Amino acid sequence: MGVFELIRKDFLLELRRKSVIAGLGLYLFSLVFICYLTFNLRVNTINAMTWSALFWLVILFSVVNSVAKSFIGERKGVLIYYYTVASPQQIILSKIIYNSALCLLISVSGYILFSIFIVNPVQDHLVFFSALVLGSLGLSTSLSIISGIASKGNNSNVLMAVLSFPVVVSILLMTIRVTKNAVDGIERAASTDEILNLLAINCIAAALGYILFPYIWRS
């Protein structure tokens, strides 16, 4: 089975179980709504830094919830079936691509929800969307691999949180900085360093995952 067939299978399964997508959407919506209520945004305003931090935290929580189940919670029989039909490299690639697509969907809809309920202060859309794309790619790449490791442990959900936090922090710091620059509309040259760093982190995470996943998968 090729990479594309695996991705197609993931999408088909997701579309058939509409409850998962609906649940994820509702989760995202409630998170944004809680932010709206707790910050009392009808009367208050928030500054650029708070907006970007809040935005990425909402995205992070939704993504952790959706990507975590890419290996955790799969039934044992399904895993053995994958094992017989595809190579580990194909599996991790298909998971990374599928999760990135899901993650992009989540972050774009999060952005739409934020602009409806909170504000849409983004001035430089090109920089903002490049942060969005690179951030989603980075988060889904590293979380897919971590979820592969955590699924083998005893208490996978706790393990997932403990293992992913430190890896994700550097990606989040970069994206929040770029987002803040985009919100403030600062000249683009100010964000190039962070964008290049994000790109480098993504490449390292993807390369390490591709090389090391066979060792995680074998068991």
Partner 1 sequence: MKKTWWKILAIVLLVYVHIGGLLFAVPRLRIHETIRSLYFHVPMWFGMTFMFLISVVYAIRYLVTSSKEDDIRSVEFANVGTAFGVLGMLTGMVWAHYAWGLFWHGDPKQVGAAIALLVYLAYFVLRSSFQNQEQRARLSAVYNIFAFASMIPLIFIIPRLYSSMHPGDDGNPAFNAYDLDGRMRLVFYPAVIGWFFMGLWISSLRIRYRALNEKISETEL
Binding site for partner 1 (CB under 8 A): 145, 149, 152-155, 159, 162-163, 165-167, 169-170, 173, 193-194, 197, 201, 204, 208, 212, 215-216, 218-219
Report in angstroms how near the CB of residue 142 gets to partner 1 at its nearest. Answer: 8
Which residue, 99 or 156, has its beta carbon nearer to partner 1? 156
Picking from 97, 70, 102, 99, the residue whose alpha carbon sits closest to that of residue 216 is 70
Which residue, 18 or 218, has its beta carbon nearer to partner 1? 218
Residue 58 to residues 119, 122, 147, 167, 168, Cα–Cα distance (Å):
15, 17, 19, 17, 14
- Do 1 and 90 form a contact (C-beta atoms < 8 A)? yes
- Do 186 and 52 form a contact (C-beta atoms < 8 A)? no
Cα separation of 107 and 113, whole Å? 10
Report in angstroms how near the CB of residue 97 gets to partner 1 at its nearest. Answer: 20
Report in angstroms how near the CB of residue 52 gets to partner 1 at its nearest. Answer: 16
Report in angstroms how near the CB of residue 214 gets to partner 1 at its nearest. Answer: 9
